Amino acid sequence: MIVHALEPHVLASWEPLGVSAVVLFCMGAAIIALGFSVFSHRAPDGRSATALLWFVVFGLTALALSCPSQDVGERCGVVEPLALWIATISLALTSFITAEGVMEHRRAWRGIRSSPMQLVESPRKWAGFDESCTALGLLILLGVVGELSLSMKTVWGTHRIVSLLLGASAFVSGIALLRLVTRRWSIGLADVGASLLTVGFATLLLVVLPATSQPLSDHLPARFNTILVGLTVMIGFWAWLYRVWEQQLDGGVAWTTAGRLRSRIPRLIVGITVISLVVAGMMAVWPRLPLIGCSDASFLRIGFGTAGHLFLILVLTIIARKWRHAPLGVLSGLGVLSLCVFLVIRLSMFSSIET
């Protein structure tokens, strides 16, 4: 029986990543739990835990690379290897940050109980852990954007599942990174965490789009418009937090983590706005791009596209006026230009509108 199991045709039929997302999540959780139980206390400065984090990341990357791109639907279900890789990396990152926080909390309580009359020493930082989390958060962010850009050949129903997985992974990773920022301030962690929250929310909005059996390449403008609305909502959210967190300043100086995060919000909003304008521009010129087989000219799409542009322009104009922020005013003008291009291209194809 053993010899039969080792025959070449049997080995060739074995698919290393032909498992469901649930099984892959369980494998990742088991690896993380086993590693922490063995290595977390081996080095006083946490070097072994940081090394274990990268070991898990490289292991999951090797599993993802072992799954060829062909016949993905038959071997990996409805989820592509890149989406599974992003989800498992997000799981590993969130688990390590949570475990580090639990260990630090227990260490602080032990210090209080042993010497209640003395101040507890400052939080212990694992060697290279914050920098590793920043790098992995940026990898997840780039992976989500890449997956949204490349998954155009799948049907809409499949993409809704992928969007849910990617959006949840980005959102949870962003919360984990910002939670780590509350323990130890880091500009890199703050920027990447806030960006993951923003992209995660915009990706989750794709789930509400109606299902259809047609390829995504025929409906990319609708996806662009949904992402544009999600990014605009997050621009308004961060602007609202900027006003609320003003109370975290003492004479203009930040004295809490929220106050430090507040100082990063204007730059974050400018970055999100630039990405939003790129998305709006892609939606506007989409029918004129080469190799596009649909006109994207219908009353419904023109209405939603115009509403998405106007929503972005309105939010940017309000923020720029309240803050007296000239760059946001210029970006708002670019939004008006994108809207004009959108209407000119769609109205020029008005003869092909389907009623």
**Any idea which residue has 């003492």 for tokens?**
250
On whether the CB atoms of residues 49 and 129 are closer than 8 A, the answer is yes
Position 136 in a domain: yes
For 11-43, the pLDDT digits (tens) are 343 344 444 555 555 565 566 555 555 555 554
* 57 and 33 within one domain: yes
> In which element (H, E) is residue 204 found?
helix 187-204
* 224 and 186 within one domain: no
Reported pTM: 0.79
- Which of the four pLDDT bands, split at 50, 70 and 90, describes residue 10? very low
Give the 3-state secondary structure of residue 296: coil
Across residues 87-106, what is the average pLDDT?
82
For 270-314, the pLDDT digits (tens) are 999 999 999 998 888 877 766 555 666 677 888 888 999 999 999
User: Which among 67, 72, 76, 64 is positioned nearest to 20, based on CA atoms?
Assistant: 76
Position 161 in a domain: yes
- Give the DSSP letter of residue 352: G
* 210 and 79 within one domain: yes
The per-residue pLDDT of the chain, averaged, comes to 76
* 255 and 193 within one domain: no
On whether the CB atoms of residues 133 and 174 are closer than 8 A, the answer is no
For the cut 70, the answer to whether the pLDDT of residue 251 exceeds it is yes
* 203 and 236 within one domain: no
On whether the CB atoms of residues 86 and 166 are closer than 8 A, the answer is yes
For the cut 50, the answer to whether the pLDDT of residue 187 exceeds it is yes
* 192 and 293 within one domain: no
Position 228 in a domain: yes
* Residue 66, both tokens: 């072992």
User: What was the pLDDT predicted at 34?
Assistant: 58
* 269 and 231 within one domain: yes
Position 114 in a domain: no
Using CA atoms, how far residue 213 sits from 77, 106, 260, in Å, is 17, 52, 47
Give the number of domains in the chain. Answer: 2
* 355 and 206 within one domain: no
* 176 and 78 within one domain: yes
**Any idea which residue has 């992209």 for tokens?**
199
* 327 and 213 within one domain: no
More confident residue, 316 or 212: 316
Q: Among 168, 201, 218, identify where a domain stops.
A: 218
Between CA 5 and CA 7 the distance in angstroms is 6
Position 4 in a domain: no
HSE-CB of 289 using CA atoms within 13 angstroms? 14
Between CA 62 and CA 175 the distance in angstroms is 27
* 245 and 185 within one domain: no
- Give the DSSP letter of residue 41: T
Q: Among 218, 249, 267, identify where a domain stops.
A: 218
Q: Among 196, 218, 240, identify where a domain stops.
A: 218
* 297 and 333 within one domain: yes
Q: Which domain holds residue 347?
A: 219-355
